[in-house]
Amino acid sequence: MAAEILDIAFAPFILPTSGALVLLIAEDTEPGEAQHAADAATQGAVSRALEAGEFKGRKGQSCIMLAPGAGLSRIVAIGLGKMAELTPHAVEEAGGRAAGAVQRDKHAAVAGALAPCQMAGLAMGAALRCYRFDRYRTKEKAEDKPRLATLHVLCAEPAAAKLAFAPLKAVVEGVFVARDLVSEPGNILTPTAMADRCEKLESLGLKIEILGPKELAKLGFGALLGVSQGSAQEPRVVVMQWMGASSGEKGKGKKKSHPAPIAFIGKGVTFDTGGISIKPAGGMEDMKWDMAGAGAVVGLMAALAGRRAKVDAIGIVGLVENMPSGTAQRPGDVVTTYSGQTVEIINTDAEGRMVLADVLWYCQERFAPKFMIDLATLTGAMIISLGHEYGGMFSNDDELAAQLFAAGTASGEKLWRMPLGEAYDKMLKSEIADMKHVGGRPGGAISAAQFIQRFVNGCKWAHLDIAGMVWTTKDAPCVPKGATAYGVRLLDRFVADHYEN
Q: Of 339-358, which residues contact Mn ion (CB under 5 A)?
A: 349, 351
Q: Which residue is nearest to Zn ion (CB)?
A: 272
Nearby residues of 200 by Cβ (< 8 Å), 6 or more positions away: 1
Cα–Cα distance for residue pair 182/288, rounded to 1 Å: 7
Q: Which residues of 9-46 are buried (b: 16+ CB within 10 A; e: fewer)?
A: ebbebebbeebbbbbbbbbeeebbebbebbbebbeebb
Asked whether position 352 contacts Zn ion by CB under 5 A, the answer is yes
Asked whether position 381 contacts ligand BES by CB under 6 A, the answer is yes
Cα–Cα distance for residue pair 403/373, rounded to 1 Å: 12
Q: Which does 381 bind (CB under 5 to 8 A by kind): Zn ion, ligand BES, Mn ion, none?
A: ligand BES
Q: Which does 320 bind (CB under 5 to 8 A by kind): Mn ion, ligand BES, Zn ion, none?
A: none
Q: Of 239-278, which residues contact Zn ion (CB under 5 A)?
A: 269, 272
Judged by CB under 6 A, the stretch of 21-29, 56-64, 151-159, 373-381 that binds ligand BES is 373-381
56, 59, 200, 279: which one is catalytic? 279
Q: Which does 413 bind (CB under 5 to 8 A by kind): ligand BES, Zn ion, Mn ion, none?
A: none
Give the one residue of 198, 262, 467, 491 binding ligand BES; rule: CB under 6 A: 467
Judged by CB under 6 A, the stretch of 25-33, 250-258, 371-379, 406-414 that binds ligand BES is 371-379
Nearby residues of 116 by Cβ (< 8 Å), 6 or more positions away: 155, 156, 157, 160, 161, 163, 164
Which residues are 154's β-sheet partners?
11, 111
Q: Which does 380 bind (CB under 5 to 8 A by kind): Mn ion, ligand BES, Zn ion, none?
A: ligand BES
Q: Which is nearer to Mn ion, 69 or 380 (CB)?
A: 380
Q: Which residues of 460-498 are buried (b: 16+ CB within 10 A; e: fewer)?
A: bbbbbbbbbbbbbeeebbbbbebbbbbbbbbbbbbbbee
Q: Which is nearer to Zn ion, 312 or 349 (CB)?
A: 349
Give the one residue of 380, 396, 406, 409 binding ligand BES; rule: CB under 6 A: 380
Q: Which is nearer to ligand BES, 173 or 184 (CB)?
A: 184
Nearest to 293 by CA among 440, 459, 128, 452: 452
Give the one residue of 93, 290, 344, 425 binding Zn ion; rule: CB under 5 A: 290
Cα–Cα distance for residue pair 164/474, rounded to 1 Å: 30
Q: Which does 379 bind (CB under 5 to 8 A by kind): Mn ion, ligand BES, Zn ion, none?
A: ligand BES
Q: Which is nearer to Mn ion, 349 or 465 (CB)?
A: 349
Nearest to 200 by CA among 238, 236, 234: 238
Q: Which does 302 bind (CB under 5 to 8 A by kind): Mn ion, ligand BES, Zn ion, none?
A: none
- Beta strands 372-376 and 262-272, pairing class: parallel
Nearest to 35 by CA among 102, 85, 80, 90: 80
| Least distance from ligand BES to the Cβ atom of residue 388, Å | 11
Nearest to 115 by CA among 171, 157, 57, 53: 157
44: left (phi over 0), alpha (psi -120 to 50) or beta: left
Neighbours of 106 (CB within 10 A): 14
Give the one residue of 350, 357, 462, 496 binding ligand BES; rule: CB under 6 A: 350
Q: Which is nearer to Zn ion, 31 or 380 (CB)?
A: 380
Question: Reading across the β-sheet that carries 391-395, which strands appear in turn?
Answer: 207-211, 236-243, 312-322, 262-272, 372-376, 461-465, 391-395, 415-417
Give the one residue of 73, 103, 336, 347 binding ligand BES; rule: CB under 6 A: 347
Q: Of 218-277, which residues contact Mn ion (CB under 5 A)?
A: 272
Q: Which is nearer to ligand BES, 146 or 487 (CB)?
A: 487
Write down how long the chain is.
501
Give the one residue of 91, 372, 375, 438 binding ligand BES; rule: CB under 6 A: 438
Asked whether position 224 contacts ligand BES by CB under 6 A, the answer is no
Q: Which phi and psi (to 5°) does residue 306 adopt?
A: -60, -35
Residue 493 annotated as catalytic: no
500 three-class SS? coil
Asked whether 65 and 446 are in contact (CB, 8 A), the reply is no
Asked whether 129 and 163 are in contact (CB, 8 A), the reply is no
Q: Which is nearer to Zn ion, 183 or 273 (CB)?
A: 273
197, 353, 436, 454: which one is catalytic? 353
Residue 353 annotated as catalytic: yes
Q: Which is nearer to ligand BES, 167 or 274 (CB)?
A: 274
Under DSSP, the state recorded for 153 is E
| Least distance from ligand BES to the Cβ atom of residue 379, Å | 4
Active site residues: 279, 353
- Site residues, ligand BES (CB under 6 A): 272, 290, 347, 349-352, 377-381, 438, 444, 467
Residues that bind Mn ion (CB under 5 A): 272, 349, 351
Site residues (vs Zn ion, CB under 5 A):
269, 272, 290, 352
